[in-house]
Amino acid sequence: MDTPYRTLSAFYKDKFGKRVYKLPIDGGFSCPNRNKNDGIRGCIFCNEQGSGEHTNKGDIINQVKLGINFAVLSNKGELFIAYFQNFTNTFAPVDVLKEKYYSAFIDDRIVGISIATRPDCINEDVCKLLKEISKTHYVTVELGLQTASDLTANAINRGYKSQIYLDAVKMLKSFDIDFVCHLIVGLPNETISDIAKTVDFINILPPNGVKIHSLYVLKDTPLGEMYLNNKYTPITREYYLEAVSYILTHIPKDVVVHRLTGDGEKDKILAPNWTKEKKKNLNAIFNYMTKNNLQQGCFYKNNSIRTP
C-alpha cells in the first residue's frame, strides 16, 4: 500500500536515482539563543547537546568518513547528504561557514548538503554562499519555526518573532534555495487550533519540506524542570496522531515529509515514554491516515503569496 504522504526516501530516489543517506555532522557551532554567562539556556526543550545526540564530534572530514563507513556497512545508502545538524549551522562568519561546508565534500558520493539553522541567522551573505554551493551540490536549509504563535514562542524561549521566519524564507526563495520547516507538536498550552494557525502561516510561503515531531521532555532542560514540577503535561500518542494528520492533510501534496518522529536518546527522555517507540509511532500514523482515508494535501487550500 502506498504511503499517504510524500516521503524523503522516495524524493531522494526520484532526484538522484539511488538510495541517499543523510550523514549527521556536528560542525562545532553554537546558537545565538544560548549564553551561559547571562544564564540563557536556549529553547526550553534543548539540552547542552542540542539536537545532535547521534552525531560524531571533531574534525568534519573524519565525521564524514565515519558516517559513510557506517552507512555502507549498514547498507543504508549509496549516495550521501552532508547534514550539519547540531545547533545553528549558519551562526558564524561566512568564511568560516564556507570552510566547514566545503570540507564535507570529500568525494563524489556526497551529492548535497543540508543546513539546520534558525530564521534569524539567515542573511544575504549566507544565501550567496549556499547559492554558490548549489551549482555543484543539492542544498537544503532547515528552519526551526516550531510554532507560528509568538506567545508560545516566548514561552519556549525561541528568541525571535514569527515574522522573521517569513523574511528568511522570502530571501531563500529569492535565491532559489530549498527549505524545510521544522514544527513541534505538544508545545506548552498549544491546541489543535494553534497547530491549524501554524499550518496556515507556513502555507503563506509553502516550504519544500517539513519536519514534524512531538515534544519530548529531556533531562537537564528547563522543560524537564517544568515537567518534574507538574507545570507541563506531555501529549498522548492519540493526540499526536490527530495533530500530525491535520498538518499533513493541510499542506501541499508536493511538500516532502522529512521526519514525523523525534530521535532523542532514550535514556535522556523523561516523558512521554511512547516517543521512544519510533517504528510503532510511524506505523500508527500510517494506520491512522489509511483508516480515515486521508492523504497529504487532501484538505489543502492555496493561500500562498508570490515572492518578489
Cell of 128: 550567496
Query: Can you list the domains of the chain with their CATH numbers?
Result: 8-291 (3.20.20.70)
291 vs 2, 241, 245, 283, 300, CA distance in Å? 13, 12, 12, 12, 19
Cα separation of 118 and 159, whole Å? Answer: 10
3-state class (DSSP) for residue 185: strand
Q: Look up cell 545553528; give the residue.
A: 88
DSSP 24: E
Cα separation of 58 and 149, whole Å? Answer: 36
Query: What pLDDT score does 9 carry?
Result: 95
Query: What pLDDT score does 41 carry?
Result: 64
Cell of 300: 489543502
Query: Is 112 in contact with 138 (CB distance < 8 Å)?
Result: yes
Q: Look up cell 515529509; give the residue.
A: 257
pLDDT digits (tens, 9 = 90+) for 39-94: 556 888 887 655 444 556 689 999 999 999 999 999 999 999 999 998 899 999 99
Query: What pLDDT score does 46 carry?
Result: 80
- pTM over 0.95, yes/no: no
Closest C-alpha among 141, 138, 113 to residue 17: 138
CA-atom Rg of the chain in angstroms: 19
How confident is the prediction along the chain (308 residues), in pLDDT tens digits per residue?
689 999 999 999 999 999 999 999 999 998 887 754 455 568 888 876 554 445 566 899 999 999 999 999 999 999 999 999 988 999 999 999 999 999 999 999 999 999 999 999 999 999 999 999 999 999 999 999 999 999 999 999 999 999 999 999 999 999 999 999 999 999 999 999 999 999 999 999 999 999 999 999 999 999 999 999 999 999 999 999 999 999 999 999 999 999 999 888 899 999 999 999 999 999 999 999 999 999 999 999 876 654 43
Q: Which amino acid is at 185?
A: V
Query: What pLDDT score does 38 carry?
Result: 52
Helix axes 162-174, 124-133, angle to 10 degrees: 40
Query: What pLDDT score does 307 carry?
Result: 43
Query: What pLDDT score does 22 carry?
Result: 97
Encode burial over 257-278: b for 16+ CB neighbours within 10 A, e otherwise: bbbbbbebeeebbbbbebbbee
Query: Is 187 in contact with 234 (CB distance < 8 Å)?
Result: no
